[in-house]
Structure 1
């Protein structure tokens, strides 16, 4: 007996539903000692700036800091938690990213997501949505920022209407 998997319900926005200027703020998350140690193990990045308290104390930061890419990874998760792209993203196409300030162990960060551009890409089955992403700590410092481009599904009726017009 075979079973057909039920399609996962869509919670996110389709391409047509994104409006330029639309902005959301994610929930916050504290970066912990465990996060930094686990990320070092996962990535293999044991740079002493992240893993050696004595070494880090002698740096310009004066203490250990989180991996920059750990901040980017958490930003991805916080953005996903908004539900904005849940079930509608076809692909993450790219990013332009800046690490502006360190994320310290114990910092609580959130993400501000703003739609800045969109364009149809029917050949890929959707449209490209560009987001301005800012990672902000509890002191309101923008610690990381950049632009993300995602390929987002179009509604079936929009795709059918488009093919009918061809």
Structure 2
């Protein structure tokens, strides 16, 4: 099992702080599995002959697949893992297509912080950018998260700290 990054509590975030994930390659299998899971069998994603005749010139991944992978990359990198109580909002733009074989990564900057003691933490707004292997921005926007405060964390040795 890969080693987990230390949990980031609300107090650990600083305005302007930046974080970056490792890259991940989007595969044909990812697209097929997402199409099955979501029920979105649009030929733009599933049919190479059809997609070749579109403005994209070939198959592209579902936009929401890119967002889902971005969320996973952010969790794996440790900056939205184990202390996020709720994903409270999203303002998101799909800038360029993600193609099968593209490697994408997530960069995030803390754009806003607001303590919310009555909820046991605070609001963290991350300005998130997803880029491909050519440094092209494919998706970007803001994620609003309710993050647990350290004061409200379980005692040491519980699942959150392991």
Specify if TM > 0.5: yes
Equivalent residue for 1:71? 66
Equivalent residue for 1:45? 40
RMSD: 1.6
TM-score, with structure 2 as normaliser: 0.89
Q: CA 1:157 to 1:33, structure 2 compared with 1: closer, same or farther past 3 Å?
A: closer
Question: Does residue 20 of the first structure (1) align with residue 19 of the second (2)?
Answer: no
* C-alpha distance in 2 between matches for 1:47 and 1:148: 27
Bigger Rg, which one: 1
Aligned length: 150
* C-alpha distance in 2 between matches for 1:47 and 1:40: 8
Pairing partner for 1:61 from 56, 71, 78: 56
Pairing partner for 2:108 from 108, 113, 135: 113
Equivalent residue for 1:35? 30
For residues 3-46 of structure 1, give each alpha carbon's deviation from its aligned partner in whole angstroms, at most 9, with x where no partner exists. xxxxxx99321111110111111000000000000100000000
TM-score, with structure 1 as normaliser: 0.86
Pairing partner for 1:137 from 126, 132, 136: 132
* C-alpha distance in 1 between matches for 2:151 and 2:76: 25
